Amino acid sequence: MTGMPIEDEERSESGGSDAPGRALLPEKEPGAFRTIGEVAEDLDLPQHVLRFWETRFTQVRPLKRGGNRRYYRPDDVDLLRGIRRLLYGQGYTIRGAQRVLRERGMRFVQAVGRGEQVAPAFVETDHEPEPETAPPPLGRADRASLNAVLDELRACRRQLARLTSARRETDG
């Protein structure tokens, strides 16, 4: 026996990382800010995953206070829960989840996190769309026709320039 209360001793022996007496703390109000540890526990994710998501989803912006400590608003938690459902529940890639956020918006993903909305079925291709193909090369006949048209346009331009300058001389 180490002198710890029995429940704390059991917690430390079982490998739990909760601080002593934490289970005795009252539940936070629904609108209260949450620490990264609380959010990670609630979402059953490691803290480093939440930090990584901040780099991939610009919409995830917890408040940062002294010592760079993160505090998540209830909307932040709903957004993270929605991202989690897209990635782990529906098989979206990060790029696919980013697309849902971009196309449907943050409120939609928050509603997915609260279970009020269902994300569209995952349809993601592993490759970029094919670029438009270049037109086939021109043959000699086509090239000759285009050069003839270009010559006519240049002749028209010269004639228009002569007429314009002649008109300025008579008007001025």
Contacts of 6 (CB under 8 A, 6+ apart): none
pLDDT at residue 25, as a whole number: 40
Whether the CB-CB separation of 24 and 32 falls below 8 Å is answered with: no
pLDDT at residue 171, as a whole number: 80
Please state the φ and ψ torsions of residue 60, each to the nearest 5 degrees. -85, 105
Task: Please give the helix or strand (H or E) that residue 63 lies within, else none.
Answer: strand 63-65
pLDDT at residue 165, as a whole number: 85
Percent helix / strand / coil, the chain, rounded to 5: 60, 5, 35
Task: Tell me the domains of the chain and their CATH numbers.
Answer: 28-114 (1.10.1660.10)
Give per-10-residue mean pLDDT for the chain (172 aa). 41 39 54 90 94 93 89 93 93 92 93 87 57 70 86 91 86 74
Please state the φ and ψ torsions of residue 169, each to the nearest 5 degrees. -65, -40
62-105 pLDDT per residue, tens: 998 888 899 999 999 999 999 999 999 888 999 999 999 999 99
The alpha-carbon radius of gyration of the chain (Å, integer) is: 33
Q: How many residues does the chain have?
A: 172
CA–CA distance, 23 with 17 (Å, rounded to integer): 12
CA–CA distance, 108 with 89 (Å, rounded to integer): 16
CA–CA distance, 32 with 34 (Å, rounded to integer): 6
pLDDT at residue 150, as a whole number: 87
CA–CA distance, 167 with 165 (Å, rounded to integer): 5
CA–CA distance, 113 with 80 (Å, rounded to integer): 7
